[in-house]
Each structure stands twice: as structure tokens, then as C-alpha cells.
Amino acid sequence: MTGIGIIVSFLVFLGIAQYLTKKYHQNFWKLFYWLPFLIVLTYFLGSYVNFIFDVGVFPTNWADFMTILSPYGYKFHFMGLLIGIFISISIFLKKITRIENKKVWADILFFSLALSLVPL
């Protein structure tokens, strides 16, 4: 059920983001092309911080690194996810040149994330 909730929440996020980008006359494909990088960064940081807090050391070998990348058990730390989301949004917003567009994109991302948490 957790996997289904994540997928439904992701689809709701995409739908709301597409609606708001059309409403505010922004390019939805800019977000869509950056989305895989943003998701992988958030996933990696959430898993990495969880590994550091569970084991207490940084990964030193290949098996530890594979434990970080493995989705088995959905082991994420909330602080890692928050840091990953913050860094991802910061990277995305740095690619936008005009300040007015940054404010619009911040609104789009905020409302999309907030409303996608409802089905999650």
C-alpha cells in the first residue's frame, strides 16, 4: 500500500503542477525534464542520512553503498528527505533566470507538493 500511495501522490503532483503551469503560463516541460534528477537526489540523501544514523559511520565499502541504494524496506530518514527536497528545489530554481518566474515556480512547487500530500 505504501508504494501505491507514493505513485498516486506523484501522479497528483504532476497533474497539479501541469495545471498550475498552464494557469501561470510557465513551461511544464522544464520541471518534467528536471524531475528525475530531483527525485534521485532526494532518494539518495534520505537513504544516506538514514544509513549514517543507523550505522554511525560513513559507507566504506561497496556493500554499504548498495545498502544505501537499495529500496528494500523503505528506510529513509525524515531529515535526509527534507534536506534532499530543499537542495533539489534550490537547484531547480537556480536554473530559472528571472526573479518573477522564480516566485511563480516557488508557488507552483509549494501548492503541488502540499496538495500531493493529501492522497499520501
**Domain segments of the chain as ranges:** 2-116
d(CA 89, CA 105): 10
Intra-chain end-to-end CA distance of the chain, in Å: 10
Helix ranges, the chain (H): 2-23, 28-55, 62-69, 78-94, 99-116
Q: Is the pTM of this model over 0.85?
A: no
Question: What pLDDT score does 104 carry?
Answer: 94
Q: How many CA atoms lie within 13 A of 14 on its CB side?
A: 12
Question: What pLDDT score does 1 carry?
Answer: 61
Question: What pLDDT score does 63 carry?
Answer: 78
Supply the DSSP symbol for 95: T
Question: What pLDDT score does 2 carry?
Answer: 65
CB 108, CB 20: distance < 8 Å: yes
**pLDDT tens digits in sequence order for the chain, 120 residues long:** 667 887 898 899 999 999 999 999 999 998 888 888 888 888 888 888 888 888 778 778 887 777 777 767 666 767 777 888 888 888 888 988 899 999 999 999 999 989 988 887
d(CA 61, CA 36): 26
Question: What pLDDT score does 88 carry?
Answer: 86
